[in-house]
Chain A
């Protein structure tokens, strides 16, 4: 009897479970498969994101009021103002810290809302099929072609001005940003819906919402995570773009509005790089960090990518192993 099948047919309790694991056992699967594999890319990405998040979260505790106006006007970085001041003498570092927090907040809000919307329309549509599916996918396709720019103004108009701020812009960005993801989710759900384990759950008597939440959703997690990350990047970038056009989150401070004020204050023309560069750099670094994290998520969604990623690293190691294997072959 081949030893590696010992467990398969051994009477209960006698097999020592671990020794008899089939060769595939070391492959990752289940919940652990949902975690990205560690790689330098992921490390750098997480590092950037965490650093910027901390910067935005606890930074405000250490800097002063970003709105404090000083008569010194525009000054380059100095010991007192590490990143200099704006034309109204406001401390750029303090502004940057608050703006980062504002942008993160918008990114997070949009990420959550857009992902929720796309999950709602994509997964439910995909699972329910039939008319609901047709209607949902038509709706998402229409949403895909609606221009977002005027929606910003329209939706802002419905929110009382004194309650307006990053929320409003986040809602708009979410509303205009979920559709593409929903299409992807729908396709994925359609394929998961046909899986036997979904059928098995139904045979076991599970309710539809439970099938969706417990059987289907977890397997969509990497995809959802990737879409979340993506919509956070997109939200921060779009918010900056809208702000540049003067349509942004005007009553809250974000990196976009900061850039907008820098631009309006002729920061670039005055070569006040300390005012213009940092917000862009923070956005770029944050987006880049998220993109790097997304690389790892991509590898979960499409395991073939992982193989490609591993090649190089393993190749270096291969030299050492060859020796060992050939020796054991000879034996």
Chain B
């Protein structure tokens, strides 16, 4: 089953060829039917191009995860998609209206075309089942024709891809370090060679050094396998470094949506600027921050916040 791993696709986003969309979100609205209702995603429209890394930034509670889950229709009550559309443009040409899929179709679609990596790998992996069983689960469900041997090999292959020794397959999640667990999650997401991978804060819980290693891995795999990534985090500097385009969310709405370069150099929305200023630059000018000088004498809110 080696052809599951597509030959490295071109990287259209960075290149000059016109970008080909793989996922289109149009005017999506998601409401939590709580008391009072929370309108968590408001009129969001996004296009994810093939092979591209789309960063989704925003502070806690702005609706990033809600948006991501809505795309895969993972929401259960009380969340409800009230309007909008999510269309998946398959590699083979067909378009899928995700919100209209029936249960069984949706189940088949999930992971095969679009996989997800969640924030806490410890809790995202079932603690009482071995890693191998959790990997093979996907194959037995989606590729019922595969033999045991083939399944075993496929699992070993994806683990090798993410830099985990295949013999760790027999371990249980708690026996792996945080970084390894996250790699296992990524390996799992790669199993069916999906076209889109949504990563919801995949590295926030990790050590800076480990985080770096994983990000590098993602980039490498993307280059090799050509899937598109939606990368969700509140760490804007990270996105600026990593992604091709960035969408900045504020209270359910996308307030700025542009290439990483533009957002870094010429942020238009004041909120984007606030966000950018919340992260002092490591190597930049030290004086840019308020620690010293006259400004620092007062911590009037305006000044504290304005950067």
Is A in direct contact with B (CB under 8 Å) within the complex?
yes
By a beta-carbon cutoff of 8 Å, the part of chain A in contact with chain B is 1-2, 4-5, 8-11, 23, 311, 314-315, 317-318, 321-322, 324-326, 328-329
Nearest-CB residue, chain B, relative to A10: B301
**Which of B29, B35, B270, B305 touches A314 (beta carbons < 8 Å)?**
B35
Residue contact A318 to B250, C-beta cutoff 8 Å: no
- Docked Cα-Cα span, A19 to B305, in Å, equals 20
- Docked Cα-Cα span, A322 to B250, in Å, equals 22
Residue contact A326 to B82, C-beta cutoff 8 Å: yes
**Which of B33, B39, B274 touches A315 (beta carbons < 8 Å)?**
B33
Residue contact A9 to B77, C-beta cutoff 8 Å: no
16 pairs, CB–CB < 8 Å, chain A vs chain B = A2-B250, A4-B251, A5-B305, A9-B302, A9-B304, A315-B33, A317-B33, A317-B35, A318-B78, A321-B33, A322-B80, A325-B37, A325-B39, A325-B82, A329-B39, A329-B43
**Which of B83, B301, B305 touches A326 (beta carbons < 8 Å)?**
B83
Nearest-CB residue, chain A, relative to B77: A311
Contacts of B29 in A (CB 8 A): 326, 329
Asked, given contacts A329-B29, A329-B82, whether A2 binds B271 with beta carbons under 8 Å apart, the answer is yes
- Docked Cα-Cα span, A315 to B35, in Å, equals 11
- Docked Cα-Cα span, A315 to B34, in Å, equals 9
Nearest-CB residue, chain A, relative to B38: A23
Nearest-CB residue, chain A, relative to B84: A329
The answer, yes or no, to whether B209 is at the interface (CB within 8 Å) is: no
The answer, yes or no, to whether B61 is at the interface (CB within 8 Å) is: yes
Contacts of B42 in A (CB 8 A): 329
Residue contact A329 to B83, C-beta cutoff 8 Å: yes
Contacts of A2 in B (CB 8 A): 250-251, 271, 274
**Which of B34, B39, B305 touches A1 (beta carbons < 8 Å)?**
B305
- Docked Cα-Cα span, A324 to B302, in Å, equals 36
Residue contact B82 to A322, C-beta cutoff 8 Å: yes
Asked, given contacts A23-B61, A318-B78, whether A325 binds B250 with beta carbons under 8 Å apart, the answer is no
Contacts of A311 in B (CB 8 A): 77-78
- Docked Cα-Cα span, A23 to B300, in Å, equals 24
A-B pairs with the 3 shortest C-beta distances?
A9-B301, A318-B33, A321-B37
Which residues of chain B in 36-52 are interfacial with respect to chain A, using CB atoms and an 8 Å cutoff? Answer: 37-39, 42-43
The proximity string for B residues 67-92 relative to A, scoring 1 for CB distances below 8 Å and 0 otherwise, is 00000000001101011000000000
- Docked Cα-Cα span, A324 to B37, in Å, equals 10
- Docked Cα-Cα span, A326 to B270, in Å, equals 27
CB distance from B132 to the nearest CB of A (A): 29
CB distance from A17 to the nearest CB of B (A): 15
Nearest-CB residue, chain A, relative to B304: A9
Interface of A is mostly: helix
- Docked Cα-Cα span, A131 to B43, in Å, equals 60
Nearest-CB residue, chain B, relative to A24: B61
Residue contact B77 to A315, C-beta cutoff 8 Å: yes
- Docked Cα-Cα span, A9 to B304, in Å, equals 8
Nearest-CB residue, chain A, relative to B35: A314
Contacts of A9 in B (CB 8 A): 301-302, 304-305
Nearest-CB residue, chain A, relative to B270: A1
Contacts of B82 in A (CB 8 A): 322, 325-326, 329
Residue contact B39 to A328, C-beta cutoff 8 Å: yes
The answer, yes or no, to whether B133 is at the interface (CB within 8 Å) is: no
The answer, yes or no, to whether B31 is at the interface (CB within 8 Å) is: yes
Contacts of A322 in B (CB 8 A): 31, 33, 80, 82
Residue contact A314 to B301, C-beta cutoff 8 Å: no
Contacts of A326 in B (CB 8 A): 29, 82-83
Contacts of A318 in B (CB 8 A): 33, 78, 80
With contacts A322-B33, A329-B82 known, what are 7 further pairs, Cβ within 8 A? A1-B274, A9-B301, A9-B304, A10-B301, A325-B37, A325-B82, A326-B83
Which residues of chain B in 1-60 are interfacial with respect to chain A, using CB atoms and an 8 Å cutoff? Answer: 29, 31, 33-35, 37-39, 42-43
Contacts of B78 in A (CB 8 A): 311, 314, 318
- Docked Cα-Cα span, A9 to B278, in Å, equals 14
The proximity string for B residues 113-150 relative to A, scoring 1 for CB distances below 8 Å and 0 otherwise, is 00000000000000000000000000000000000000
CB distance from B40 to the nearest CB of A (A): 10
Contacts of A314 in B (CB 8 A): 33-35, 78
Residue contact B301 to A11, C-beta cutoff 8 Å: yes
CB distance from B34 to the nearest CB of A (A): 7
Nearest-CB residue, chain A, relative to B61: A23
The proximity string for B residues 251-277 relative to A, scoring 1 for CB distances below 8 Å and 0 otherwise, is 100000000000000000011001000
Nearest-CB residue, chain A, relative to B83: A326
- Docked Cα-Cα span, A9 to B303, in Å, equals 10
Contacts of A8 in B (CB 8 A): 301
CB distance from B238 to the nearest CB of A (A): 21
Contacts of B33 in A (CB 8 A): 314-315, 317-318, 321-322
Nearest-CB residue, chain B, relative to A26: B36
- Docked Cα-Cα span, A166 to B40, in Å, equals 58
Nearest-CB residue, chain A, relative to B33: A318
- Docked Cα-Cα span, A94 to B39, in Å, equals 60
Contacts of A23 in B (CB 8 A): 38, 61
CB distance from B123 to the nearest CB of A (A): 14
- Docked Cα-Cα span, A90 to B72, in Å, equals 71
- Docked Cα-Cα span, A167 to B43, in Å, equals 68
Residue contact A325 to B35, C-beta cutoff 8 Å: no
CB distance from B199 to the nearest CB of A (A): 25
Which residues of chain B in 282-307 are interfacial with respect to chain A, using CB atoms and an 8 Å cutoff? Answer: 300-302, 304-305
- Docked Cα-Cα span, A311 to B34, in Å, equals 9
- Docked Cα-Cα span, A315 to B78, in Å, equals 8
CB distance from B35 to the nearest CB of A (A): 6
CB distance from A294 to the nearest CB of B (A): 25
